[in-house]
Amino acid sequence: MGSQWSRDKVYLRAKQEGFRSRASYKLIEIQNKFAIIRENDNIIDLGAAPGSWLQVLRTLTSGKVLGIDLNPIAALEGIDTIEGDLTDLTIQKQAQEMLGTVSVVVCDAAPKLSGHKSYDQVRAIALGEEALIFASHVLKPGGNFVIKSFQGVDFPELLDRIKEHFFVVKTYSTKATRKGSTEIYIIGKNFKG
């Protein structure tokens, strides 16, 4: 009996095309629909391991790209990484020093799932709030933000918080998301500063 991954067409396509995970296609789809990244943007990817979004980001900008994760990220050409916690103020300061002006913050991170939907959803919302705080500290006015979340009871509250910081806020479910998943992306454009 094969694993769930061996039957996953998007996963197999990602491996064939040299991406580290299926998540690459989610970012490509978001970029094609919302044009969040411009040619010379400096970008931070929170929760960046294993690095599939970093691979895509490197193709979308000539600016600096920085990945931050609690876990190490295998080296990628033209990309800097920091192993650390996005809630750590010294990590935020280090990121700003490395990039200077930050135009875009993206976050495809999710907490380790326990299988208990309500518990996992609360943890995902908390992670989303931390990513929003990070983005609010480093983004330039007019910058963009993309975050993965999960629909549930607390989701509207996170969405409202993001609306306080960005002039345009949209939600989007990608075609590359697994069937039956409550995963959804929030796109914040034009940071108020």
Which pLDDT does position 116 carry in this prediction?
Answer: 78
State the pLDDT confidence band at 136, using cuts at 50, 70 and 90: very high
| pLDDT higher at 183 or 1 | 183
* CATH code for the structural domain at 5-191: 3.40.50.150
Q: Work out the average pLDDT over 37-61.
A: 95
Give dist(CA 108, CA 57) in Å, integer.
13
Which pLDDT does position 151 carry in this prediction?
Answer: 87
Q: Work out the average pLDDT over 29-58.
A: 96
| pLDDT higher at 13 or 144 | 144
| pLDDT higher at 72 or 9 | 72
Mean pLDDT of the chain: 89
Q: Work out the average pLDDT over 113-121.
A: 78
Which pLDDT does position 9 carry in this prediction?
Answer: 67
| pLDDT higher at 11 or 134 | 134
Measured CA to CA in angstroms, residue 22 lies from 3, 13, 84, 130, 169 at distances of 15, 8, 24, 24, 25
Give dist(CA 5, CA 23) in Å, integer.
13
Interior angle at CA 159, CA 147 and CA 189, nearest 5: 60
pTM comes to 0.88
Give dist(CA 167, CA 40) in Å, integer.
22
Q: Work out the average pLDDT over 104-124.
A: 85
Is residue 19 pLDDT above 90, yes or no?
A: no
**148 classed as catalytic:** yes
Which pLDDT does position 103 carry in this prediction?
Answer: 98
Measured over the CA atoms of residue 172, residue 175, residue 180 and residue 183, the dihedral's sign is: negative
Query: Burial code of 85-122, b = ≥16 C-beta within 10 A, e = fewer?
Result: ebeeeebbeebbeebeebbbbbbbbbbeeeeeeeebbb
Name the residue among 187, 175, 150 with its Cα closest to residue 23.
175
Instruction: Express each pLDDT in 60-108 by its tens digit.
Output: 999 999 999 999 999 999 999 999 999 999 999 999 999 999 999 999 9
Domain boundaries, the chain: 5-191
Name the residue among 13, 59, 57, 63 with its Cα closest to residue 176.
13
Which pLDDT does position 4 carry in this prediction?
Answer: 45
| pLDDT higher at 46 or 24 | 46
Residue in 148, 163, 170, 175 annotated catalytic: 148
